[in-house]
């Protein structure tokens, strides 16, 4: 969808902390969008483990009532803490998990870095998901909210809708089963506030044109950023390509 230009200085707090020492991760944490489940990661966790990394795959299923974002962040943080991944850790947020990364990691003791994978980005204040969508494309946001007000929920994708994005039939079935359609209340609630964030280097991996705006903002902030044409579910469409892109990006943090 088309995106409107924006001033990244308005959207963003301070830049990520930088040092001359490169981050060498020992583990990865993968955060799925609240609109899907961990099926969106496909074989990527296994591929990372083959590279001798520890991997934590967040799996939140009980954030089905308000406050949705806080429930997701709390459950995710609890799972990460219980897993005790060796540090430094790279946190990867896909799609709608992006704005929740500060809340997810707020109670954790250390981070090696953050990578936003075709994801929205956190911003100051307590904007809603609807507010973030309005900043991206005001016209589309109005149509989207009108649809939700009529009682529709999102996502309402069919298997045919996802055929080009997720070519493997088994992956597509798993993703469809994991979808979590949400109503207006979900998209209208204020997201958790940012506190002392970012506290580690950040990077951005754009894999579909719908996230060009966020890629532009990341570049304007001086973050390491990469663009690939894998589609919005890159770990399913090109797991090996996504692995290589993430490893390259992590090496630049």
Number of Cβ within a 10 Å radius of residue 163: 11
Residue 4 has pLDDT above 90, yes or no: no
pTM, entire model: 0.91
Closest of 138, 132, 150, 147 to residue 188, by C-alpha: 132
What pLDDT, in 10s, does the model give residues 88-98?
Answer: 999 999 999 99
Looking at per-residue confidence, does 206 or 196 come out higher?
Answer: 206
Q: From 3.40.50.920, 3.40.50.1820, 3.90.1200.10, 3.40.47.10, which CATH number describes the 23-125+193-251 domain?
A: 3.40.50.1820
pLDDT at residue number 108 = 87
**Residue matched to tokens 């940012």:** 194
Q: Any idea where the domains of the chain sit in the sequence?
A: 23-125+193-251
- What values do phi and psi take at 204, rounded to 5? -135, 130
Q: What is the mean pLDDT of residues 75-104?
A: 96
Residue 155 has pLDDT above 50, yes or no: yes
Q: In what order do the strands lie in the sheet with 225-227?
A: 54-57, 27-31, 89-94, 113-117, 202-206, 225-227
What pLDDT, in 10s, does the model give residues 140-151?
Answer: 899 999 999 999
In the chain, beta strands by DSSP E: 27-31, 54-57, 89-94, 113-117, 202-206, 225-227
């Amino acid at each position: 969808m088309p995106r409107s230009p924006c001033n990244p200085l308005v959207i963003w707090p301070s830049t990520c902390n930088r040092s001359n020492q490169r981050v060498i991760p020992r583990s990865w944490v993968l955060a799925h969008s609240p609109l899907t489940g961990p099926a969106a990661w496909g074989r990527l966790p296994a591929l990372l483990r083959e590279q001798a990394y520890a991997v934590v795959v967040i799996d939140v299923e009980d954030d089905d009532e308000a406050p949705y974002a806080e429930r997701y962040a709390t459950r995710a943080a609890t799972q990460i803490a219980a897993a005790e991944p060796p540090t430094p850790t790279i946190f990867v947020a896909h799609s709608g998990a992006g704005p929740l990364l500060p809340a997810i990691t707020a109670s954790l003791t250390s981070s090696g870095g953050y990578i936003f994978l075709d994801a929205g980005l956190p911003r100051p204040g307590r904007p809603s998901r609807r507010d973030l969508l309005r900043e991206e494309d005001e016209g589309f946001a109005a149509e989207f909210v009108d649809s939700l007000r009529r009682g529709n929920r999102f996502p309402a994708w069919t298997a045919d809708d996802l055929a080009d994005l997720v070519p493997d039939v088994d992956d597509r079935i798993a993703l469809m089963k994991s979808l979590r359609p949400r109503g207006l209340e979900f998209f209208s609630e204020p997201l958790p506030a940012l506190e002392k964030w970012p506290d580690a280097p950040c990077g951005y991996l754009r894999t579909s044109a719908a996230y060009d705006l966020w890629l532009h903002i990341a570049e304007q902030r001086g973050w390491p950023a990469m663009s690939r044409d894998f589609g919005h579910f890159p770990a399913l469409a090109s797991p090996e390509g996504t692995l290589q892109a993430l490893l390259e990006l992590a090496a630049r943090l």
